[in-house]
A and B are shown apart, each in its own frame.
Chain A
Amino acid sequence: MRRIILALVEDKPGVLNRIASMFRRRGFNIYSLAVGHSEVPDMSRMVIVVDNAPPNAVDQVTKQLDKVIEVVRVEDITELPIVTRETAMIKVRASPATRGQIIEVLDLFKGVEVADVSPNSIIIEMTGTTDVVESLLALLKDYGIIEIMRTGQLAMVRDSQLPD
């Protein structure tokens, strides 16, 4: 099961290393990681998604992350009402003959754009939940995926306590 951990951290050298170490020492895999500046000056916000880790162990890691001096706030938000998104860039084999079919597939999805068209491939850019990104990838598989680049999950707790 995947757990989503949200952290606000000081933007300083070595912080990422300290955080990653907490997972490494237990042999947990970081499924995805997204980091960037936050609304607070000199603070970054980070979303860490871990998979195959028992929930109580993640709870322990979360407490240990809080021990890292530069971690200002950290929370396991898996069970909270959250909005999640990620962006993927997908380079797919596309000859003039298959290009049309691929575009038809893309039309089934929201948040998709063609970022580049080359003679033998196209680059598709898509933003959505991880599940939707996964289903697009599944549909594109047969055309021949050359390269995938994903941002990792972004996540935010919604103030309206409505179900997603």
Chain B
Amino acid sequence: MKLTGGQMVCESLLREGADVVFGVPGGAILPFYDYLTQYPKIHHVLVRHEQGGAHAADGYARVTGKVGVCLATSGPGALNLTTGLANAFMDSCPIVAITGQVSRFAIGKVAFQETDVTGATLPVTKHNYLVMRAADIPRVLKEAFYIARTGRPGPVLVDIPKDVFTETADYEYPETVNLPGYHPQTVGDPAQIQKAAKLINGAKRPVILAGRGVLIAGAMEELRLLAEKAQVPVVPTLLGLSCFPGSHYLNVGMMGMHGSAYANIAVDECDVLIGVGCRFDDRITGRVSDFARHAQIIHVDIEPANIRQNIRTEVPIVGDAKSVLRSLIPLVEPAKRSEWLQHIDDLRRAHPLVVRDFGEAPSTQHVIQQLFQETHGNAIVVTGVGQHQMRAGQHYIFDRPMTMVTSGGLGTMGYEIPAAMGAQLGRPDALVWSVAGDGGFQMTVQELATIRDEKLPVKFAIMNNGFLGMVRQWQELFYEKRYSQVKVTGPDFVKLAEAYGMLGLRATRKEEVAKVIRQANAHRGPVLVDFQVAAEENVYPMIPSGQSVKELMEDTLPGLEPTRR
């Protein structure tokens, strides 16, 4: 079949099941947008900024497990994607980005809107292509989707010159890929798995540290079976939240810089640490030499370069979490470990997550707890970056897989709006709540128009503290409260909501919180709630950057009530 390059892209997208794509047209990608009109099955979402398109594709990918697709024109369009690509790269999100490039004859001549996009995105993509012949498009797209979703998933960018979109060639979509340098190892080495089983069977105080790799591999059931059989407590990372039921008795809750004290202490005291689908980044480990000091470490990850990147490891296992855990479970002996579990319960009681009272104003903690109550834990929670994000990780209990959507590795403010849009498009029937910062919200606010146009019933909970809160907290704690550029103002968020055709609500007092959440839940369209929370709430527990559990700071002021966990 003879097709133009642009038609080939559309055909290939349909072949890959990409029925929703996010983009903004422009000069170099014009021919593609012209061919797009022949493909009504492809739902194109016109975003208001390409960064929003990339984050939307990322959010879509996180809740569906499918590859998200975004599109941009050359130069500024493609460069606007880069933050979103980097975000997806850090958090192993499968994305295919298609960008228009100036025509072949103009490349390298400093043409209008010409940027070396494969060069610029090299460090933030898993792989990228510059396609110089239409005949290569089917193979390249086949490879792009394959690379994006296999191994450690990640973003792949395909840059296509304008005249390649209009060039005609034979179209046949390949069934297989031929990539001699790319063979992700999914099956773990049996000898290593044996060793791991032996360590676990001999352990007195084991802990499983579960990361996003568990969700990516779909290994939630295997993780539960392993934990229950061997009675091993599970500590999720921020990105691992929702990979293990939050209300399960073996779930100790999130660890790391703002994880619970008891989870951090449990990891500190454990004798065998089983890291599954996580990469031990510095927000988890703190000072590496003090991390899990007494533990022998087993590390299961599909990416060999993640192993021993940051921490010493006694038993490295390269493989897919599902496949490795499946092989491991039969080798692990049933155990009770009642003493260890009892000890962790004691830790929970001794170091509860405390909810501070700020008088009339609600705290962010309070809002998140109410959100959990009022949604019965059934929402998909999307977050921005900062204090509200950590509170969402601490206080929302995630019982269903792939319901926490947050920017972990890159910590990208502004993620909360477009990612929520992508998540809602991926899961049209789900209740999507975006827990947003008043700072971050203003970084991608233009996507509210997209959300309205797409009639997406996303609910936004702005934790309006009038500050770039997390930075303010660091300035308070580590720079003697010399506040420098952290006071942030915003619009009247309720009026803003109305201007975008959404329902705008506000809560300024604790008693109003549950009521407005209920009101928002009952509304069929998009809702924005301005929660005017206490201005100077600090997120505890906290292990300051580069320190260890020994330096963990807890909220220990009087008059505190323990949480209801």
Chain A residues close to B by CB (< 8 Å): 9-10, 13-14, 17-18, 21, 25, 43, 60, 63-64, 66-73
Contact = CB atoms under 8 A, between A and B. Distances in A.
Contacts, number: 34
B182 interface: yes
Contact of A72 (B147, B181, B305): B181
A17 B119 contact: yes
A69 B127 CA distance: 7
B123 interface: yes
Contact of A69 (B118, B119, B130, B179): B179
Contacts of B106: none
Interface in B100-128: 118-119, 122-123, 126-127
Interface string B300-326: 000111000100000000000000000
A17 B127 CA distance: 12
B359 interface: no
Given A60-B305, A63-B305, A18 B180 contact: no
Contacts of B303: 67
Interface residues of B, number: 16
Contacts of B147: 69
26 contacts: A9-B181, A10-B181, A13-B130, A14-B118, A14-B130, A17-B119, A17-B122, A18-B122, A21-B123, A25-B123, A43-B180, A60-B305, A60-B309, A64-B305, A66-B305, A67-B303, A67-B305, A68-B181, A69-B126, A69-B127, A69-B181, A70-B181, A71-B181, A72-B180, A72-B181, A73-B181
A75 to B, nearest CB: 13
Contacts of B181: 9-10, 68-73
Contacts of A14: 118, 130
A159 to B, nearest CB: 24
Which of B181, B304, B309 has the most C-beta atoms of chain A within 10 angstroms of its own C-beta?
B181
Contacts of B309: 60
Given A67-B303, A69-B181, 11 more contacts: A9-B181, A10-B180, A14-B118, A25-B123, A43-B180, A66-B304, A66-B305, A69-B127, A69-B179, A70-B181, A71-B181
Contacts of A63: 304-305
Contacts of A64: 305
B122 A21 contact: yes
Contacts of B123: 21, 25
Nearest to A74: B181
A50 B489 CA distance: 50
A110 B141 CA distance: 53
Main secondary structure of the interface of A (DSSP, over half): mixed
Contacts of A69: 126-127, 147, 179, 181-182
B125 to A, nearest CB: 10
* Nearest 10 CB-CB pairings of A with B: A63-B305, A72-B181, A69-B127, A69-B182, A72-B180, A71-B181, A64-B305, A70-B181, A67-B305, A63-B304
A97 B245 CA distance: 88
Interface string B125-136: 011001000000
Interface string B381-413: 000000000000000000000000000000000
Nearest to A24: B123
Nearest to A8: B181
Nearest to B183: A72
A13 B309 CA distance: 29
Q: Most chain-A Cβ atoms within 10 A of its Cβ — which of B123, B127, B179, B305?
A: B305
A14 B121 CA distance: 13
Interface in B513-546: none
Interface string B42-70: 00000000000000000000000000000
For A63, A69, A72, the residue with the greatest tally of chain B CB atoms inside 10 Å of its CB is A69
A69 to B, nearest CB: 5
B143 to A, nearest CB: 8
A109 B303 CA distance: 48
A117 to B, nearest CB: 41
Contacts of A71: 181
B360 to A, nearest CB: 50
Interface in B261-302: none
B97 to A, nearest CB: 16
A64 B308 CA distance: 12
Chain B CB within 10 A, most for which of A25, A63, A71: A63
Contacts of A60: 305, 309
Contacts of A25: 123
A81 to B, nearest CB: 25
A50 B276 CA distance: 33
